[in-house]
Amino acid sequence: MEIKKLSEIFDYLKGNEKKRLVVANPIDSHSIEAVAKAVGMGIVDAVLVGDEQKIKAICEQEKIDVGQFRIVHTEANEDPARKAVALINAGEGELLMKGLVSTDVYMRAILNKENGLLPPKAVLSHVTVIENAKYHKLMVVSDVAIIPAPDLKQKSVMIGYIVKTAKALGIETPKVALIAATEQVLPGMQACVDAAMLAKMSERGQIKGAIVDGPLALDVAVDGEAAEIKGLTSPVAGDADCLLFPNIEAGNVFYKMNTKLCDSEQAAFVAGAKVPCILSSRGDSTQTKLNSIALSALLG
């Protein structure tokens, strides 16, 4: 069954085995509330890593039963993110989540060469699933947060991540749009060159499990009428499941436009580590964090 709304992920997960979620320093109300809701829905069991008294104080403030969590206390001189990663490596968790920890500290813990979660030669990339009321299905998007200017090899790996995510959402053969400023193959525009090469790689079986086309401007990727007006014939045009952006600026602007101006719902995680890693912003709502937990549990 294809999942077309983020809320449908929760229904899908109800009969599945619960995942163990390890949360680094959840001393903000949105993180605690999201984790408590996920636990209450039977999606995850949760391990909270941080100052025990602060965690208990937040739970009391938000009227949340602290007894539903396992708390791993950290001293003032300890890094909750590194301790959370250590628990994952010890087999005590299958999902990682960022609480009130700076992104730099969180990512350093994941990327630590000796004790982190990065397999050899792996590529970390941010994957977002966006539900926009103006589009007829979910959009799987990359990369809006981690890789500033991905090269051809990184883009190939990123396609793998978004295709895997789309398949987890029940899409048998995802349609991937390689986004550029134009659907014309312009040699002077690197995004167009890379997109044309990736599309040809897909055509020849070097990228499997999806239909990949590009370069495609955003309008033709999501609007069949625009493609028809422009005389573009493409199996992806107007019906893209996945959008691969050429750089972080384009992806990040698209993401924030959706969240701030379109009232879109979203879920996100970092792919490429040993386990799905939820990289939520301090400004993310409880619902966004809950969506991200559910998406990560689906992928975990």
Give the pLDDT of the chain (300 residues) as one tens digit per residue: 799 999 999 999 988 899 999 999 999 999 999 999 999 999 999 999 999 999 999 999 999 999 999 999 999 889 999 999 999 999 999 999 999 999 999 999 999 999 999 999 899 999 999 999 999 999 999 999 999 999 999 999 999 999 999 999 999 999 999 999 999 999 999 999 999 999 999 999 999 999 999 999 999 999 999 999 999 999 999 999 999 999 999 999 999 999 999 999 999 999 999 999 999 877 788 999 999 999 999 998
DSSP annotation string for the chain: ----STHHHHHHHTTSPPEEEEEE---SHHHHHHHHHHHHTTSEEEEEEE-HHHHHHHHHHTT--GGGSEEEE--TTS-HHHHHHHHHHTTS-SEEEE-SS-HHHHHHHHH-TTTSS--TT---EEEEEEE-TTSSS-EEEE-SSS-SS--HHHHHHHHHHHHHHHHHTT-SS-EEEEE-S-SS--TT-HHHHHHHHHHHHHHTTSS-SSEEEEEE-HHHHH-HHHHHHTT---SSTT--SEEE-SSHHHHHHHHHHHHHHS--EEEEEEESSSS-EE---TT--HHHHHHHHHHHHHH-
What is the number of residues in the chain? 300
* Fold annotation for 125-261: Isopropylmalate Dehydrogenase (3.40.718)
Q: Please, which residues have CB within 8 angstroms of residue 237's CB and are 6 or more apart in sequence?
A: 177, 213, 216, 220, 221, 224, 227
Question: Does domain 7-121+273-299 bear CATH number 3.40.720.10?
Answer: no
pLDDT for res 247? 97
For the four alpha carbons of 215, 218, 224 and 225, in that order, the dihedral sign comes to negative
The angle at the Cα of 88, spanning 155 to 85, to the nearest 5 degrees, equals 75
- CA dist., res. 181 & res. 214, Å (int): 11
CA 84/CA 92 separation, integer angstroms: 9
Q: Give domain limits for the chain.
A: 7-121+273-299, 125-261
pTM of the model: 0.95
Return the pLDDT at 108.
96
Task: Provide the β-strand partners of residue 176.
Answer: 212, 242
Q: Which residues contact 244 (CB under 8 A, 6 or more apart)?
A: 142, 155, 158, 159, 162, 176, 177, 178, 179, 214
User: For residue 15, what pLDDT is reported?
Assistant: 80
